Amino acid sequence: MRVVVDTCVWSLALARHAPSDAPAVAILRRLIEDGEEILLPGIVLQELLQGLRSEASATRLRGVLEPFELVAGDADDFAHAATLFRSCRAKGVGIATVDALIAAIAISHGAALLTTAADFGRMAEVVPLKLLPVPA
């Protein structure tokens, strides 16, 4: 199975005081242990790195994330993200530009999205985005 992991899940998983019982983190651990293909959108990497306070922390984080396949997105992904954005807007669903790109990358790579962000749930009601279920 191919899975795109959203910024919010990585943030939970990488936090110093991450809740050990966070369902999304448990799912991510299981996916890694099972050898599933984890895709890391470039924009997610950027969001994670820009939240850090030092270059040393950024270097460490890049090392931690290095085993995961970096997918930067191409012209088709950006165009698809714009289409997703317009489709959602037409149905009264507001989404962020970054979220549209993450969804487009997941869709174009035939991957499910692991996220805790409710916006993606609303988006998945309008566009063909497959979400991995995360228990509440």
- Domain holding 101: CATH number? 3.40.50.1010
Residue 82 lies in a domain: yes
Residue 132 lies in a domain: no
Residue 135 lies in a domain: no
Q: What is the pLDDT along the chain (136 residues), one digit of tens a residue?
A: 999 999 999 999 998 776 667 899 999 999 999 999 999 999 999 999 999 999 999 999 999 999 999 999 999 999 999 999 999 999 999 999 999 999 999 999 999 999 999 999 999 999 999 999 998 7
Residue 106 lies in a domain: yes
DSSP string, 41-109: EHHHHHHHHHT-S-HHHHHHHHHHHTTSEEE---HHHHHHHHHHHHHHHHTT----HHHHHHHHHHHHT
Residue numbers of the domain that contains 78: 2-124
Residue 134 lies in a domain: no
pTM here is 0.94
Q: What is the tally of structural domains in the chain?
A: 1
Residue 131 lies in a domain: no
